[in-house]
Structure 1
Amino acid sequence: MKQALLLVSFGTAAPGAQNSITAVENALIAAAPDRAVFRAYTSPTIRRILARRGVEMPDLTTALETLAAQGYEDVALQTTHVIPGFEYDRIKAEADRFAPKFARLRLGTPLLYEVADLTQLAEHAAQCWLPEEGALVLLGHGTEHRADLIYPALAGALRCAGADNALVGTVEGWPGFDAVLAMLRRGGWKQVCLRPLLLTAGEHARSDMAGEHPESWKSRLEAAGFGVSCCLEGMGSDEAVQEMYCRHLRAIL
């Protein structure tokens, strides 16, 4: 039976940010060494940008059509998305649509999908990501999807892990900037370390989080009187996060 590993990411076009996706992909490939490897990006915008640079990356539909046409029968489809939001819903719907074309097609879950994922990431953050002084703010994307609840749930898991100086915020969801600012003031911290709760340190990390323009989180916190440092490293570069993705893949192999 021909076996394939299909790695599905949102994607990135930011220079250097691809390294975080590649690091996760390499770990997943090592966890499934006997499978042919295929890739897909779900973001049409990023695929268009890459195409203008001469890099062709298929969408999920095209990748699944290719696998079926080439006679693959057993497909492990692992996403590198962080939360099970709208993007994951679309991946799942497409996987369900294509399932009859294969003898076996299984879909792995995003990084933060169940309680064990939240507690594992929180414990790792408490051990490895906390600054020497001040507060840590993990900044995620945020969404109008019900999966936005994962962000405050992670904040609770961080407290349970003893990381009382670790907060979670989002660019486009809740908690937003005002909520995080209020928590920072209540905590009495003067220094803040911003770190992306994102697979890659792409545009959201470089612009919305750490940009020099007045609307970035860094600029707004500095304007509010905080000293701010920024970690511009996507979570995908962290070996502990890579292992979490591998755990999800092993569950479907």
Structure 2
Amino acid sequence: MRINRILLATPLVVVALIVQVSILARLQLPGAVPDLMLLVVVGLSLVYGHVGGALTGFGAGLLADLAPPSDHAIGSYALVLCVIGYAAGLTRPESGRHRSATIPLVVVVGAAVGSTLLYAAVGSLVGDTAARHVGIGGLVLSATVYDLLLAPFTVPLVMALARRTENDALTDGVGSQGGAAGTRESGYGWLSPGTGLQSGRGLLKPGRVGRPTRVPRIGSQRGGLLTRSARSKATRIKGVKRL
């Protein structure tokens, strides 16, 4: 994973976790809690792709598992967000940009439903039966509604920030290539303008009497050398040896 992606994903995930634990979890809403962490992972996965999305989801889920108050098995939410990030990253087009907002909204709905069902399944495997007491149907419905309400304010902003970091990295790469090209050109500075030696028109140089004299062109000298070598080859082919 690139350094610029880590530098962007880490503060976004930390801020989302703080807001979710300190604000959203205390609203006492019916059903599920709005999952801001999930929306951040989805937004980054839509830009970074399936590999970056899986790594981001795993790191975000592990941080949520370790953050207090953690009342579930450590690693369960990391597995859920890792799978969701991988699946959301698969919808990233080759151009890197979605033509409409329909696909991100569909991905948000699928992530809300899939994360709730997967979290309940993982909880049942490790002995966590909290989802059974609340009702899986109510959890899926409330999670989908809450995430859809938060998605227009979260996912576009996260995607814009992620695309900006990607574009900056691409610009830096192009700038480094341009700097290398400039270094190569400076290495051939004797062919650059202002040195008096050019392959185009000759430069005028003041002579002793004050009359301008024309500096011979490199192209004409190379042409003369090529002509002599061609003549010598032609005479050798004919079998004539010139003294």
TM-score by length of 2: 0.30
Structure showing greater radius of gyration is 2
Higher RCO, 1 or 2 (CA under 8 Å, sep at least 6)?
1
Tell me the TM-score normalised to structure 1 length: 0.29
Q: Larger % of strand: which?
A: 1
